[in-house]
Amino acid sequence: VIAFFQPKLLAGQKLLVTAGPTYEALDPVRGITNLSSGKMGFAIARAAHEAGAEVTLVAGPVNLPTPRGVKRIDVRSAQNMLEAVLQQAPEATVFIATAAVADWRPASSSERKIKKDGSGQPPQLAFTENTDILATVAQSPRAQSGELFCVGFAAESHDLEDNAQAKRKRKGVPLLVGNIGPATFGRDDNALLLVDAQGSRELARASKLSLARELVADIAARLS
Ligand code: CTP
Ligand code: CA
């Protein structure tokens, strides 16, 4: 009976979540992307909505249904994702970056399909580094003052805790969540390592939705 009167964990909070891969066009028919399925980010959006938050989900190209009650903005490239995030961030109280943002984009994208030139030589591709969306948001005054709580994700192939702690500091975020291998992309389950200034805590292997609910509860406890 008492539970009935308890406010939801994220009542009054506005969550902004990025999810999925980005797609960096090389020409009208080709591009560079990665195998992120978006499942973890979509699960977090769903769990946060269930916990009473107003949720905006900025999604790269994925094949997933929009969680009920969640506002979804579809984007393609890292630059599109950055624009959408910067537009929404001033409203948000929590930003969770789960997207596998492409680190580089082709320095130039051809308006016409690139053709073989008959020489047998492949084209020389040049790349430009994409803006770090999470670090950009984390440097904003609202994030610095604690009005906007920023959470990053990281997939590391080795030395997860050390790499995650270093990445957390480099990004300037209070919480970084590491995916505990084997490779999580596309799977329905995962295990997470929560890394903050005090140290780390493991969330044992479970479905992405149960982990998302645990993470939402952990983040709620960190707010205010
Ligand atoms: N991220 C981002 N924008 C980018 C690159 C990464 O917002 N251009 C975010 C991801 O969404 C994730 C976090 O930063 O929350 C860590 O991403 P990751 O790829 O692990 O870190 P990088 O800084 O790109 O370092 P590297 O890939 O070299 O390990
Ligand atoms: Ca990266």
ipTM, two decimals, is 0.99
Minimum CA distance residue for ligand 1 atom 9: 134
- Which of ligand 1's atoms lies nearest the C-alpha of 129? 8
Annotated ligand binding at 103? The verdict is yes
Burial tier of 43 (Cβ tally within 10 Å: 0-12, 13-18, 19+): buried
For residues 48 and 8, give the distance between their C-alpha atoms in angstroms, rounded to a whole number. 10
Q: Which of 79, 94, 134 to mutate to test the pocket of ligand 1 (most atoms within 8 A of CB)?
A: 134
- Full pLDDT tens readout for the chain, 224 residues: 566 777 899 999 999 999 999 999 999 999 999 999 999 999 999 999 999 999 999 999 999 999 999 999 999 999 999 999 999 999 999 999 999 999 999 999 889 999 999 999 999 999 999 999 999 999 999 999 999 999 999 988 889 999 999 999 999 999 999 998 777 677 888 899 999 999 999 999 999 999 999 999 999 999 97
Question: The pTM is what?
Answer: 0.95
Residue ID of nearest Cα to ligand 1 atom 8: 132
Give percent helix, percent strand, percent coil of the chain, each to the nearest 5.
Answer: 30, 30, 40
Which of these, 2, 196, 177, lies nearest to 99 by C-alpha position? 177
Per DSSP bridges, beta strands 104-106 and 127-129 are antiparallel
Closest CA to 183 of 36, 79, 54, 43: 36
Residue 186, pLDDT score = 76
**Alpha helix segments (H runs only) across the chain:** 2-5, 39-50, 78-88, 133-138, 141-144, 160-171, 208-222
pLDDT tens profile 78-131: 999 999 999 999 999 999 999 999 999 999 988 999 999 999 999 999 999 999
Round to whole Å and give the CA distance between 67 and 219. 20
Query: What is residue 17's three-state secondary structure?
Result: strand
Q: What pLDDT score was predicted for residue 3?
A: 63
Closest-lying ligand to the alpha carbon of 58? 1
